[in-house]
Amino acid sequence: MISGIGYCSIDYLSIVPHIPIDDKVEIIQTLVQGGGPAATAIAAAARLGAKTAFAGAVGDDERGRQIIDGLASEGVDTTALKVRKNADSPAAFCWIEKETGKRSIAWTKGNAAPLSPDELEVNLIKNSQVLHLDGHQTNAAIAAAKIARAHGIAVSIDAGTIVPGIDELLELSDIVIASDKFANRYTGESCLGKSVEKLHFENCKFSAVTIGCEGSIGFDGKNLMKCPSFRVNAVDTTGAGDVFHGAFVYKYAEGGTWFECMRFASAVSALKCTKFGGRTGIPDLKTVEKFISEMGFK
């Protein structure tokens, strides 16, 4: 079981000729789909074949129903996802540039009250191999991470946003994977090699920094390792980092080495980028294995 706690939303995506600044542009294509860092990571792990569950909070609005239905359609257990009465669910508005696949995102948390520690499904956490967090639902995430650590369950965090409580979450995590922007801001290091070492806290087993199309760099406490990205014709990079995390923890739960986890996650993330939407292009396990083999890896 891979369980997740964090931000879940409905994404309103548009492919545009270019991302306008103080200008207008005609939309080429639109899509409405579930999103959010931890939620999409868990959806990716589910599509790869893992048994999964997700905990968070949504409103009792149409967005909330779409969020739950989107996760349930992937086979994710949503019984720990709380629905708040008379509340607005999270949403993100995404613009994707047609020629490059690069995107810009504006998002809102909505006003659904966050998950509280006493609402946690403790048995769900205890029965997990990995607990994946994204820094949101922070108080509940900290409490869940403490439960996980007390029972020998690996805690993974997608460090993408500096929020109150992030220091404690990082220190409770066995696997810390950050975006390059987060790593630079949080550690104060412009050198990614130094920043990934600084993200390797006392209880950490593995830290890494993702660098978009340049791949990722990891650190196991002794050795730095660089994993290049897989080159594909990118249509949309929305959710690429989230999918990387889901694939990484999936491979970790399957017993992969750190580098194998990085390479596998890179392949899954690359394949995701070949289709429009944060979740549309997430591949199944057979597709990933074929892709990696065709690239000359075993």
Model confidence at 297: pLDDT above 80? no
Structural domain total, the chain: 1
Burial tier of 231 (Cβ tally within 10 Å: 0-12, 13-18, 19+): exposed
Query: What is the mean pLDDT of the segment spanning 55-69?
Result: 97
As a whole number, mean pLDDT of residues 2-24 equals: 94
Residue 193: pLDDT over 70: yes
pLDDT band at 190 (very low <50, low <70, confident <90, very high): confident
pLDDT band for position 162 (cuts 50, 70, 90): confident
Q: Where in the sequence is the domain holding 147, given as residue range(s)?
A: 2-294
Q: Is the pLDDT of residue 61 over 80?
A: yes
- For residue 163, give the CATH number of its domain: 3.40.1190.20
Q: Is 131 exposed, middle or buried (0-12, 13-18, 19+ CB in 10 A)?
A: buried
List Cβ neighbours of 255 (8 Å cut-off, separation of 6 or more). Answer: none
pLDDT over 70 percentage in the chain = 99
For the chain, give the mean pLDDT: 94
The structure's pTM equals 0.94
Q: What percent of the chain has pLDDT over 90?
A: 86
